[in-house]
Amino acid sequence: MTMTAPTIDRILVDRVPGETRVAALAGGRLVDLHIVRGDPRFAVGAIHLGRVAQLVAGFDGAFVDIGLEQAAFLRLADVASPPVAGDVLPVQIVRAAGGEKGLGVTARPRLAGRFIDWLAGRPGLRTARGVAMLAGLSLADDEGAELKAASADADPAAVVVELARLRAEWAAVLARAARGVAPAALHPAAEPWMALLQQPWAAGAEVAFADRAGLTAARADVARLFPDLAERLVLDPAGWRMFDEAGVEEQVAAALARRVPLPGGGELVIDEAEAATLIDIDAGASRAAPGTINRKAVPAIAAALRLRAIGGQVLVDFVREGGAKSRDALVAAMREAVAADPEPVEIAGWSRLGLLELTRRRARPSLASLMSAPAADRAASAVARGYDALRAAARTAGEPAVAAITVEAGAVVETALRGPLAGNLAALAKATGLAIRVAAAPALAPSAFRVAAGRP
């Protein structure tokens, strides 16, 4: 069973005030979905000047104040030398908050490029697996970098130029840290579409934006960093209806389903909990052999982990099919399937109860945690439905001859739009130049809404 990373050919960027959604498509199939909400200063990849608040000996780590109510967690293995309370140091956010856990940070930041990454605190020049060392690269004794797979086909001069740019960026981070008072933001995270565009499996992807303002800002960034990619950034003619017309909304809904049908019969049953995610392979009424069902389940599991952004511990209950040889083959197939995942996945092996154990880095909140209420029926959360209403209002604003907009909202949506998303609604009204009014609609279901356009 040979598996390779799906080639991403389109990246769609859809924005409303307070939320950006980035969809990566391979031949129309949704492969990856990034949903960014809240303060972008605290997105994964951002670098902050933090202050060590407390050492946690039992967990071999420390709590670091980076300006949030809940301190971030720093593993001592990610620090060059053990810190003490009160120490100030640059840290990079590497793990999203989840459940009761706060953000995870490292004191060894990585600045990503297309061909080479800058590795702070890790001296020496490294290469990705299968990548040859490139002549002409020079690093000081205390500098670190890693050549990426894309460097193999790049002009060596372009790699040298990128290394110089990353070196200058890191020097600027250190200069801001020297002047700053902790906690303070030092360097922003890359936009998700930009991070995707730098991956080798998206080398030829088009990046389509729903709005002209987003496209203009993106082109300015690309012109500064990667001018040769500027022509790939386009305005989608569908505008705010881009996700609908590309079939993304339908695929997102399917990705939130608990049951995932397998080709030829059987299904995955995915249950996410705070401590772990359990994936059960249910043969159901399928007459296929257990080994056949399991082999079809492996790529479906790998795809679900990535698209759903499932992180932490994962337990997989395969259909029982035989002895050690069958189990070894499943482990090998799973390792191959997750090798293309952008996030590290570690296959731990079989538990005493016959479950395959693995872990996946939690780089961002899971899709279910962002879109669903904490209930067994996975009803949409109030905030998620509020953003749905904002997007519907934005689509309506793009129609001809619209003078004003009214969002008729059920109780849940109304609470979101008048509460946590009130500022986002005002920002959308300002951006569109239209008055946007929220009207209570008791006759609608609590999570339902309608958008009405007022015309001259």
pLDDT tens track for 225-239: 888 889 999 999 999
Residue 147's φ and ψ, nearest 5 degrees, are -75, 135
pLDDT for residue 431 is more than 60: yes
What are the helix (H) ranges across 398-433?
Answer: 411-418, 422-432
pLDDT for residue 456 is more than 80: no
pLDDT for residue 99 is more than 90: no
Cα within 13 Å of Cα(351), Cβ side: 12
pLDDT tens track for 61-76: 999 999 999 999 999 9
Mean pLDDT of 271-293: 91
pTM: 0.89
Tokens 């130029």, residue located? 161
Instruction: Return the exposure string of 73-83: e unless at least 16 CB atoms fall within 10 Å of the residue's CB, then b.
Output: bbbbebbeeeb
pLDDT for residue 5 is more than 80: no
Question: In this structure, are residues 74 and 109 in contact, taking their beta carbons and an 8 Å threshold?
Answer: no
| Mean per-residue pLDDT over the chain, rounded | 91
Given this model, what pLDDT does residue 198 score? 85
Give whole-number Cα distances, 244 to 12, 248, 372, 395, in Å: 11, 6, 20, 11
**Segment of 92-96, 157-161, 394-398, 417-421 carrying the highest mean pLDDT:** 417-421
Tokens 């565009």, residue located? 197
Beta bridge partners, 36, equal: 20
Given this model, what pLDDT does residue 122 score? 92
Q: Where are the beta strands (DSSP E) in 123-266?
A: 124-127, 144-147, 184-187, 206-209, 233-235, 259-261
Instruction: Among 54-58, 160-164, 269-273, name the one with the lowest average pLDDT.
Output: 54-58
Structural domains in the chain, CATH included, are 10-40+190-245 (3.30.420), 258-360 (3.40.630), 382-454 (3.40.1260.20)
pLDDT for residue 377 is more than 60: no
Given this model, what pLDDT does residue 117 score? 95
Selected residue with higher pLDDT from 445 and 199: 445
- Nearest-angstrom CA–CA distance, 81 and 75: 11
Given this model, what pLDDT does residue 373 score? 57
Mean pLDDT of 373-381: 57
Mean pLDDT of 130-134: 80
pLDDT for residue 154 is more than 90: no
Percent residues over pLDDT 90 in the chain = 75
Mean pLDDT of 268-289: 91
pLDDT for residue 125 is more than 50: yes
Given this model, what pLDDT does residue 1 score? 46
pLDDT for residue 13 is more than 90: yes
Instruction: Return the exposure string of 227-246: e unless at least 16 CB atoms fall within 10 Å of the residue's CB, then b.
Output: eebeebbeebebbbbbbeeb
Mean pLDDT of 7-16: 94
Given this model, what pLDDT does residue 375 score? 47
- Nearest-angstrom CA–CA distance, 216 and 220: 6
Q: Band of the pLDDT at 405, cuts 50, 70, 90?
A: very high
Mean pLDDT of 239-259: 94
**Segment of 168-172, 190-194, 361-365 carrying the highest mean pLDDT:** 168-172
pLDDT for residue 161 is more than 70: yes
Q: Band of the pLDDT at 300, cuts 50, 70, 90?
A: very high
